[in-house]
Copies of this chain bind each other. A is one copy, B any other.
């Protein structure tokens, strides 16, 4: 009976992983290659398979099988898998189908209204749909059950075990210190000249340089691809097939290059999950925050650092002949690390980025808890931007309407972006302790030792440890925002002569 349950569990889990892989391929193809007229069929295909996935996840038999397997399993991969499936199954069965359908319809419509509202920069158009989305998400949280804030129920989807209590503690320390650092940088006499990054950078050379760096990072080309899409992303169908995308702008190489490194960091995590436990629910990444830590660490701690460019700058010069003849590495480093209090999150630098996230977190939590009305959102957004970053959007399209997340019902997602930065800084300081010659290695182009360290410390563990257990195991301490702050203070204190 136990054996039967375990077989059922393993077979069903494997089917669901396969379905997720197919859904990911449908989506990847849609974003990269699909001819435009294919979209309506693709939507039908995806909806059908998503429905099938939901059916499999909510089968009544799960309850018995999970109960039977829960306490008796000595294999940590099986017990972590049982734990994970219980979480997923419970989330799925607790939300009634009528609510699932209403949310799907409302967000589908909401997305289209948001596109239109942003185009016209008219927040008023978006008020009613967003009110409905917030109401439905509150209902979803109620169905899911929670302790403390209803926000916790939503957060759990993206960052399991994280709570508003912990986020509030982390962010309330961070916010004033980030605001202060941004202000001090604003007052600095140092003014990086980022115009050296502008020019004519042919796409084939950009791509070749990006591929070269991915190879040096240890990206396995036998188990992955690099393609082009409007919005860069990483999609892991399995550790044996991980695909990243970028977009190229010929007038600037930087956004594509750092984008490739960022997605490459995600991809190393997916490839590093390994094949041994693939197909088990526990053989997957642990949380969005940990996932984001892998991309941020490679993008910021590594590829925006001096040791990295000590090695790669000559190759950059070689790739774009003549472009950097008069630009020394001492000029180049500030240019790729310029800090500017600006309106748009996705264009923000390492220092200001966190404030964009905290602002969104505070607002969406208040919306969900009922202490902020949707109709006041535009105004409050502007006030907070002034308080935190000292800039105020004139247009709602550059303010509250800039991100798509809320229109799609993604509430509880934003904090994972900043958590990624915190995890990354804390992991990286530990990597520097464990590998004392890390910077020398970077300086001689050796990036793989870091990949090996991350693989051993993070990637191979899948969902065996929760995110908080994982960061504790890696660094010997719970998550602490001071590592991120120290990293920023040191790096930007230096660059801006603070």
A contacts, CB < 8 Å to B: 14-15, 18-19, 21-22, 25-26, 29, 33-38, 40-42, 44-45, 48-49, 52, 220-225, 237-238, 240-241, 278
Please classify the interface of chain A as helix (H, G, I), strand (E, B), loop, or mixed, using the class held by over half of its residues.
Answer: helix
B45 and A18 within 8 A (CB)? yes
C-alpha gap A33/B42 in the complex (Å): 19
9 sample A-B contacts, Cβ–Cβ < 8 Å, listed by A number? A14-B44, A18-B45, A19-B48, A21-B45, A22-B26, A41-B237, A41-B240, A41-B241, A41-B278
**Which chain B positions have C-beta within 8 A of A22?**
22, 26, 45, 49
C-alpha gap A29/B34 in the complex (Å): 11
A18 in contact with B48 given A25-B29, A37-B241, A240-B37 (CB within 8 Å) = yes
Chain B residue with Cβ nearest A242: B35
**Which chain B positions have C-beta within 8 A of A21?**
41, 45
C-alpha gap A37/B224 in the complex (Å): 8
C-alpha gap A40/B238 in the complex (Å): 10
B18 and A222 within 8 A (CB)? no
A245 CB to closest chain B CB (Å) equals 12
A139 CB to closest chain B CB (Å) equals 29
Chain B residue with Cβ nearest A52: B52
A35 in contact with B224 given A18-B44, A22-B45, A25-B25 (CB within 8 Å) = yes
**Which chain B positions have C-beta within 8 A of A18?**
41, 44-45, 48
B48 and A15 within 8 A (CB)? yes
Chain B residue with Cβ nearest A25: B29
16 other contacts beyond A18-B45, A35-B223, A38-B223, with CB at 8 A cut-off? A15-B48, A18-B41, A18-B44, A18-B48, A33-B225, A35-B222, A35-B224, A35-B225, A36-B223, A37-B222, A37-B241, A38-B237, A38-B238, A41-B237, A41-B240, A41-B241
**Which chain B positions have C-beta within 8 A of A237?**
38, 41
C-alpha gap A224/B41 in the complex (Å): 13
**Which chain B positions have C-beta within 8 A of A25?**
25-26, 29
A35 in contact with B238 given A22-B49, A48-B15 (CB within 8 Å) = no
